[in-house]
Structure 1
Amino acid sequence: MRKLDKQVWGWALYDWANSAFATTVMAGFFPIFFKQYWSYGADVNTSTAQLGFANAVASLIVAAMAPLLGAVADRGSAKKRLLLLFAYLGVLMTASLFFVQQGQWLWAVFIYSLGIIGFSGANIFYDSLLPSVAEKDNIDYISSLGFSLGYLGGGLLFLVNVLMTLYPETFGLADAGEAVRWSFLTVALWWGGFSLFTLFWVEEEKKAIESRSVVQIIREGGQQFVGTFQEIRHLKTVFLFLLAYWFYIDGVDTIVRMAVDYGLSLGFASNDLIIALLIVQFVGFPAALLFGKLGQSWGVRKSIFLGIGIYILITLWGVRMESKNEFYILAGAIGLAQGGIQALSRSFYSRLIPADKPAEYYGFYNMLGKFAAILGPALMGFVGLFVRRMLMPAAPTAEQIETVGRIASRWGIGSIILLFLIGGVLLYFVDEEKGKQEAARLAGDESTVGE
């Protein structure tokens, strides 16, 4: 097994770097600050719609660009450069949030959307560099190492940022609002600074095609994208895995994104969100490493099944959850499974794709990731509304409305089990050896499979 050299650490430290944005900005402070500061005076439903629109547009832009960007990167050996280009777009936008003044919701939405595009776009090329820094016998562990460092790095900075908002005077700040604005700057410095390890330590094989013009590379990348789309239709194992991944990762993302809303609907305080997020981060650090080792010794597909099983239990427990302490326990369980199922899915996919076009195939992989959490929230909403309509009496009292609403929310979260079951059944039929053979035939060299 290859030892963890500078190149591996340089790759993994990018997850340490960019997770600060995912934790402090996306999950933690931006949604709250957007409602209370940038949308000051606006209707609550209006501000929710504005934020939702920003997330949706940014995700759709990245999803649409992902496969083409991957094709261009493969044609021109530009994965690392494009990673850094998108990363520093995100860094610049995150720093810019510091300067957005109260009530300027439109600027906040615009800058935040560009930040998401930078963050998500860079992840396409980060994932595609995995096969070049890892070998077959340690790719699962290295993939998990990246996620674990992301949990630890994002969690540590988020903890500091939370302390800044709780005790602003200790940090020489006027109030919590100023602390949040400075938190955005700390994320930008953290993300941009630690990305330098990726720049200097990760090496990328140069291709002769780089001597061609940018226009030629883009044109050929577009042609390759069309060709790869046709290939995926014939690579039955890749296609089946992507379908399975779409279902179960939709369930994972739905649980993560809707957990807070669900907790609030049961009457938990908003401060419980911060505590739960910290629990997820610090449990996720060792758990992701544990899943990586488990994948090596027990098998990757079996370990993914374990992660799906844990999420089914989380969902079942969530249906009957009553206290905030149970909410914290479920946050720990999410931290236990989330990083592992993401890391092993990423490394398992690397075994099934042609070795000569990783960025392009990871473009399709990330495209599905951007389209995740579409089925789940829609399913929750439909089931919740249906149950509410069936149980609500003709002239309900305030107490009946509250009671029926909670019952409907429980049925809604319980419906997510369906996504995990469908994803698990489809994954059962994914044959890794068959996938390797298909990829080898396409690449024309069986020795390159999985390398």
Structure 2
Amino acid sequence: MVEEKRASRRGIWGWMLFDWAQQPFHTLIITFVFAPYFAAAVAPDAARGQELWGYATGIGGLLIALSSPVLGAIADASGPRKPWIAIFSIIGVVGCWMLWFAVPGMDNITFVLIAIAVAVFGMEFAAVFNNAMMPTLVPRSELGRLSGSAWGLGYIGGLITLILVLGFLSASPETGRTLLGFEPLFGLDPAMREGDRASGPLTAIWYVVFALPMFLFTPDIARKPSVTGAVRKGLSELGRTLRRLPGERSYFGFLMSSMFYRDALNALYAFGGIYAAGVLGWSIIQIGIFGILANITGALGGWLGGRADQRYGPKVVVSWSIVILAFCCLLVISTTQTEVLFVSVAAAAGQSGLPDIVFYTAGALIGAAGGAIQAASRTLLVDQVDREKVTEAFGLYALSGKATTFIGPLSIAFATAFFASEAFGLSPQDAQRLGVTPIIVLFAIGLALLPLVKSRHKETVAA
């Protein structure tokens, strides 16, 4: 039976290692090392850095939104996913490598912004096609565990690279020492922040090495007998699906809900480190410790979320994860060097360690809930369609997610610029705080749409 089709153990591990290969991009570049470095040392100030980072990552997402319908249609009509993964992997690797040239205080940062957008475009698109391979590897009853285990493995990969950067490459400009007390390897200059900049080339090398098992061992969809007219045929099929989609309440509801909560989660990841640097005055080392904690809990969240998915169903996991993430976002916004939940805990910055503790706690919860929701979302999507339509579904999942990837970053960029204007007279730190409030709104919309979605978990258990 088709339902029982299963890839080899080596093929499954090759697919899972793709998450391991790609997670450092999110951990080192988007969240914990390069993004806060960019805001603190490359951009004119932290608030302006948050704004520019939002534009760069938002434009990368917008490029994906504009191109994903056509490229997804061609891929569906032609068959194999690996050629597309290879093309976008090259683009992402080149973008990451270019980040090395982002020196502190550089006059023209346009090159860096372009590199960021290119890296986002390539890495995110490669993941889109890799995710589309998942339903062909194991039966439906095992998808939750497979997805959760892959996300957990990915977080461990991100954790290891973060420890490598903080422990051996990235040093404090003041002390010249890394988190572990060593001088940076390879003679990296702390004053020029070469350890932070090295996160770009390290991400590129790590990705190339560990994505190889997927290319070598994971089975791909067979090439269609004829690809003549693939563009026309694929777009025609996509058009029919889109016209029918509004009538499929659960499927349409899931795509709409996930569109908002995934955008909120991506924005939360992207701006967490920048926020900590600008509002709490954290160093890269402190942000790195925050990242290590979030990656540990993320691995646990992905693994436990996969088991909870298998037992209770993916919809339950997604719902609770959204609630936890929205609460954490509120906790983050309400925390400064002198306040927790908008209540003053110190007269001056540095007099109380409670804000730092609260922020570390929020980071741990964000890591755990983020790992669980991303793993369960892949399974919940499979529940919305028949097996023969699941590849098309992942294409629409990519389209719905990437079509709005720019909303989170750009809304934060616009909100930050709005509150930083002279009309409000706010400090850069307060403008930064208010600038990330759109994330809570996006989570709330995603949660409000989730009741429309049905899961096949009970059917699978009964079978």
Q: Which interval holds the TM-score relative to the shorter structure? A: 0.7 to 0.9
The CA deviation string for residues 342-377 of structure 1, in whole angstroms up to 9 with x for no partner, is 110111101212433434322321233231473697
Q: Cα distance 1:332–1:36, how it changes in 2: closer, same or farther (>3 A)?
A: closer
The CA deviation string for residues 128-169 of structure 1, in whole angstroms up to 9 with x for no partner, is 111111211110111112211111101211221122112474
What is the deviation of 1:76?
A: 0.9
Q: Cα distance 1:250–1:182, how it changes in 2: closer, same or farther (>3 A)?
A: closer
Structure-1 residue corresponding to 2:393: 361
The CA deviation string for residues 208-254 of structure 1, in whole angstroms up to 9 with x for no partner, is 43x434xx222322222222222323322211111222233344334
Please, what TM-score do these two structures have when normalized by structure 2?
Answer: 0.79
Counterpart CA distance in 2 for 1:51 and 1:313 is 24
Secondary structure, counterpart of 2:187 in structure 1: coil
The farther-off stretch of 297-306 and 287-296 is: 297-306
User: Structure 2: which amino acid aligns with 1:5?
Assistant: R
Q: Is 1:301 paired with 2:315?
A: yes
Structure-1 residue corresponding to 2:380: 348
The farther-off stretch of 166-175 and 216-225 is: 166-175
Contact persistence 1:70–1:362 (CA under 8 A): no
The farther-off stretch of 88-97 and 332-341 is: 88-97
Q: Cα distance 1:250–1:109, how it changes in 2: closer, same or farther (>3 A)?
A: closer
Identity %: 24
Counterpart CA distance in 2 for 1:347 and 1:122 is 19
Q: Is 1:231 paired with 2:263?
A: no
User: Structure 1: which amino acid aligns with 2:187?
Assistant: L
What is the deviation of 1:90?
A: 1.2
Q: Cα distance 1:364–1:316, how it changes in 2: closer, same or farther (>3 A)?
A: same
Cα-Cα RMSD: 3.6
Structure-1 residue corresponding to 2:74: 72
Unaligned runs of 5+ in 2: 172-177, 341-354
Q: 2:209 aligns with which of 193, 197, 202?
A: 193
Counterpart CA distance in 1 for 2:292 and 2:124 is 22
Q: Cα distance 1:242–1:103, how it changes in 2: closer, same or farther (>3 A)?
A: same
Structure-2 residue corresponding to 1:443: none
Contact persistence 1:66–1:124 (CA under 8 A): no
Counterpart CA distance in 2 for 1:300 and 1:378 is 29
Secondary structure, counterpart of 2:393 in structure 1: helix
Structure-2 residue corresponding to 1:165: 170
What is the deviation of 1:29?
A: 3.5
The CA deviation string for residues 82-125 of structure 1, in whole angstroms up to 9 with x for no partner, is 11221122123323444667556333233332221110111110
Counterpart CA distance in 2 for 1:319 and 1:147 is 27
Q: Is 1:289 paired with 2:291?
A: no
Counterpart CA distance in 1 for 2:45 and 2:408 is 27
Q: 1:178 aligns with which of 177, 194, 209?
A: 194
Unaligned runs of 5+ in 1: 437-446
Counterpart CA distance in 1 for 2:373 and 2:16 is 17
The CA deviation string for residues 305-356 of structure 1, in whole angstroms up to 9 with x for no partner, is 2212322432454465431111001100111100101110111101212433
Contact persistence 1:169–1:175 (CA under 8 A): no
Contact persistence 1:237–1:352 (CA under 8 A): yes
Please, what TM-score do these two structures have when normalized by structure 1?
Answer: 0.81
Aligned length: 421
Query: Where do residues 200-279 of structure 1 align in structure 2 (5 Å cutoff)?
Result: 200-209=216-225, 211-213=226-228, 216-263=229-276, 266-271=279-284, 272-279=286-293
Contact persistence 1:248–1:422 (CA under 8 A): yes
Query: Where do residues 303-342 of structure 1 align in structure 2 (5 Å cutoff)?
Result: 303-318=317-332, 320-321=334-335, 322=340, 323-342=355-374
Counterpart CA distance in 2 for 1:363 and 1:55 is 21
Q: Cα distance 1:100–1:361, how it changes in 2: closer, same or farther (>3 A)?
A: same
The farther-off stretch of 91-100 and 372-381 is: 372-381
Contact persistence 1:10–1:197 (CA under 8 A): yes
Counterpart CA distance in 1 for 2:115 and 2:275 is 28
What is the deviation of 1:9?
A: 0.8
